Amino acid sequence: MKTTLYHGSKAKLTEILAETGGYVCFGGVFASQNKANAASFGDCIHTIEIDDQEIGNTQDLWYTYDNVPAERRAMIKAIKAMTTAKTKAQVEAVFEIVADDKDPSEDMFSVFRAADFAEASWKAQALRGAIAKAAGFRAIEMSDEFGTSYLVLGGINTKIEMI
């Protein structure tokens, strides 16, 4: 089965980029199953069709981390690249925060290379996307102000169309 997601923006998009940079980069675009939620971010509404099995969630991340060695190594590599985590304990603490879709506590801000709560939360979201991509997913569920949203990851030929 496929899920239809909607992404709202101020400009038309023709592809989902994975590059980093700018104010905050999540490695993809946020989308919703609700068109009205997407429209709150801009008048240009895009549709994204994605196979259900290519959308990860918290349980998928934990299963992959615990049971698939090659993807686990890729997930750890992403954590080490995007944080200051060096030890096994630090990596596991970061993974738990990110996999469980939690906000980092103040004592973890420096590990996320963040100055404050907002920046740490954004970086945790970006890292959740990176570990989902390392685990082989095209999108990952996230909790946000609308309930459930999806970070649709860039750089993997995901089709996006303007409606």
Cα 44 → chain centroid: 21
Query: What is the per-residue DSSP string for 75-107?
Result: HHHHHHHHS---SHHHHHHHHHHHHTTPPPPGG
What's the rounded mean pLDDT across residues 37-48? 88
Please report, as a single letter, which amino acid is at residue 85.
Answer: A
Q: Tell me the pTM.
A: 0.89
> Residue 3 has which token pair?
């899920």
What's the rounded mean pLDDT across residues 13-23? 60
Q: Tens of pLDDT along 121-158? A: 999 999 999 999 999 999 999 988 878 999 998 866 66
> Residue 6 has which token pair?
């909607």
d(CA 20, CA 28): 9
Q: Tens of pLDDT along 83-130? A: 999 999 999 999 999 999 999 999 999 999 999 999 999 999 999 999
Does 23 have pLDDT greater than 50?
no
Under 8 Å between Cβ of 150 and 55 = yes
Tell me the pLDDT band of 17, cut-offs 50, 70 and 90. low
Q: What is the pLDDT of residue 119?
A: 93
State what percent of residues in the chain have pLDDT above 90: 66
d(CA 101, CA 131): 12
Q: What is the pLDDT of residue 157?
A: 61
Q: What is the pLDDT of residue 104?
A: 96
Does 75 have pLDDT greater than 90?
yes
Under 8 Å between Cβ of 124 and 98 = yes
